[in-house]
Each structure stands twice: as structure tokens, then as C-alpha cells.
Structure 1
Amino acid sequence: MFKASSSLTFLSSLLFISAIADTPSSFIRSSCSTTTYPSICVESLSSYASSIQQNPHQLVQTALSLSLNTTLSTKSFVSKLNKFRGLKNRENQALHDCLEEIGESVDRLSRSIKELKLCVKSKGQDFQWHISNVETWVSSAITDENTCTDGFAGKALNGRIKSSIRTRMLRVAQVTSNALSLINHYASKG
């Protein structure tokens, strides 16, 4: 009788553990483990677990949308900085160039989201074509983001503006890099 009770308890524990392993949160954690910044990935996507569920397409769609929203927020921030008075000539130029690069990044991420929607109805070669476009545009968005940060290189631009830009652009680069990792994983399954 003790053995049956122990076996039943053990079996119940296994069922509970497997039920936990199949939750949207565990799906997000597992998917994010393949990204460059897994803790940021989990932190940024966990609040969307109920809409993501365990759907790889929805996970990628959400990650891309998060990247776009973060980039748009940063674009707005840089635009406000660009209106400050008393900036050095080089700061003005770096902010102007950065704003242009972020605008390109926003455009590429927007196009990626639209293209990703076409993947749902596609199979085989068509799927590969659409997902390849998404990968290319997101990768280009990362390059744009890095180019913005590079514009603030050198000691002449040290200060609060450079520090603020770098902090924001780091976050943009991290969520975009994570989105690209998730896209690459999704592409390999398609």
C-alpha cells in the first residue's frame, strides 16, 4: 500500500512538472535561452505570455513589435535631444545622424513586421523568401542602431548626451538582437 501511494505521489509530481513545463512562460524562457541576452528577452516578453501562448510565430511577432516600439521611443527621445540649445557642433551633427539612422531602423523593423505576417500563409520556398527578407531587414536595423552609437565615439562627445544615447541605444540593440535570434530559430523550423 505504501508503494502504491508513493508511486501515485511520484506520478502526480511528474504530471505537475510537465504541466508547468508546457506553460507560455516556460515556452518564453526556453525560446529566450537561445538569444544573446536571455534575461532581457524573458523580462521583455513575459508580460505578453498570454498572447504568445506557445506559438512560435506570435513569439517572433511580439519580439519584433517590442523592438519597433523600443526603437520608436528612442527616436522620440533623440528627437527631443536634438532640439536642445547650447549643444556643441559635433553633438548636433551626431544627434542629427543618429536620428536619421534610427529612422532607417524604424522603417526596416516596420517592413519586417509586415513581411513576417506573410510567413503565416506561406510554405516551402515562399516561407523561406519572406523569412529571409525579415532576417535581412532586422540585421540591417541592428547595423543602423550601431551606426548611431558609433557617431558618439571619442572624448570630445563625452557627457550626458552621449551617455543617454548609449544607454537607450544599448537597450534597442539588445531587444533587436534578441528578436533576430528568435527569428533565426523560427526560420530554421519553417
Structure 2
Amino acid sequence: MDKSSLLFLLLSILYIAGIANLASAATASNFIKSSCRTTKYPAVCVQSLSIYADTIKKSSYQLSQAALSVCLDRVVSAKTFIYRLTKFKGLKPGEKEAIRDCFDEISDSVDRLRRSIKELKNGSSAEGQEFIWHISNVVTWVSASLTDENTCVDGFSGKALNGRIKRSIMTRMINIEQVTTNALSLINNYASKY
């Protein structure tokens, strides 16, 4: 075979592989969009999970794991931010207490989400009642994490705590509440298929 034929064959193979990869990516993207339509915040869902399309493919399990990972990343980031706020000087007494309480709640949320990720993985190979038990644990812990996040926000209610600190925490917590609510919905959809 001459060099030009070999080059043509190689380019043809690469072209076909490229088309297959594009088709696979489009299929994964469509799966994510379709799955996210069932969530409370579909635009946030698609935006936060699209970067995981190569891993998710068309797997409800991988979609649920990715959604939990997004939650955990956002909560860990918020925990770091809130910890830094505890070191600020000149905070109002109510702010200081609300920040400390929020930090404790978010720390609990981090723990629950980490346990949920492990539990979902443990349940992925289970069947029947064992699968239901694992999923039940995941749903319980993610729901408790959502409660922790809401409790953090509740600590900043009232006009006395209005200001930059409250706004910066609320902005983060609203996004965390959205991705957590979406993750819970995706986990329930995954569980309903079994």
C-alpha cells in the first residue's frame, strides 16, 4: 500500500472515530437535558452536569453520582467561605453567631453528602431490598443535607442581619439548595427504574 492510500485510510478512520465521538457526546447531552427536565431547576441541572457528559453517557447511576459530586463540591466551597467569615473582625454579635451556626450546619451537610456518594456506589451493584435500603439511606442523607442548608439560611432571618455577609451567604446557599434539590430528584428517578 502506498503512502497516499495509507494516509487516506488513516484519515478515514480518524474521521469516523470523530463522528462516533460527536454522536456519543450528543447522545449524552440529550440524556442529561431529558433527565434534567424532571427536576425543579432544569437550567441549573443542565449547566452543572453537562461537563460530566463523557462520564454520564446514558447512565442514570452516573448522572446521580455526578449530581451528588456537584452538590458536595458546592457545599465544600461554601464551607470554606463561611469558615473564612468566622475570622472577620467587626461582625455584629448576631452575625457572628449565625455564621458559626451556619458553619456547623454546612459541616454536617458535607458529611452527609460524602456518605451519600459512598452509599450510592455501594448500592449500584445491589438488587431488590438491598438496593432499596441503600437508596433509602442516600435519599435520607441528601434530604437531611438540604435541611442543614435551609437551617443555615434561617439563621440569617430578620432585618438585624441584613448586609453584605447575609447576601454573600444567601447567594451561595440558594445555588446549593438548587443543585441539592435537583440531585434528590435525579436519585429518585434512578431508584424508580429498579
TM-score of the pair, normalised by structure 1: 0.88
- Candidates 154, 157, 160, aligned match of 1:156: 160
Which one-letter code corresponds to 2:71 in the other structure?
S
Task: Give the alignment partner of residue 40 of structure 2, picking from 36, 40, 44.
Answer: 36
SS at match of 1:23: helix
Q: Shift of the alpha carbon at 1:20?
A: 8.6
Report the counterpart of residue 67 of structure 2 in structure 1: 63
Unaligned segments of structure 1, at least 5 residues: 1-18
Q: Which residue of 2 aligns with 1:8?
A: none
Find the aligned partners of 2:118 and 2:55 in 1 and give their Cα distance.
19
Aligned: 1:48 with 2:52:
yes
Q: Is the 8 A contact 1:91 1:157 kept in 2?
A: yes
Which 4+ runs in 1 deviate beyond 2 A? Answer: 19-22
Identity among equivalent positions (%) equals 61
Q: Distance in 2 between matches of 1:87 and 1:69?
A: 27
Superposition map of 1:12-161 within 5 A: 23-161=27-165
Taking the aligned partners of 1:114 and 1:71, their CA distance within structure 2 comes to 17
Does the 8 Å CA contact 1:20/1:26 hold for their aligned counterparts?
no
Question: Structure 1: how far apart are the matches of 2:51 and 2:30?
Answer: 13
Report the CA distance shift for 1:158/1:23 in structure 2 as closer, same or farther (over 3 A).
same
CA contact (8 A) 2:135 2:191 kept: yes
Residue deviations 1:49-81 (CA, integer Å, cap 9, x gap): 011100110000010011001000000001111
Instruction: Please give the per-residue CA displacement for 1:139-181, whole angstroms capped at 9, x wherever unaligned.
Output: 0000000000000000000000000000000011111110000
User: How far off its partner does 1:98 sit?
Assistant: 0.1
- RMSD value over aligned CA atoms? 1.3
For 1:132 and 1:188, the matched residues in 2 are separated by 12
- The code of the aligned residue for 1:97 comes to D
Deviations 1:112-137 (A, max 9, x none): 00100011110010000000000000
Alignment gaps of 5+ in structure 2: 1-22
Cα distance change of structure 1 residues 142 and 25 upon mapping to structure 2, 3 Å threshold: same
Report the TM-score, using the length of structure 2 for normalisation: 0.86
Matches of 1:120 and 1:64, distance apart in 2: 14
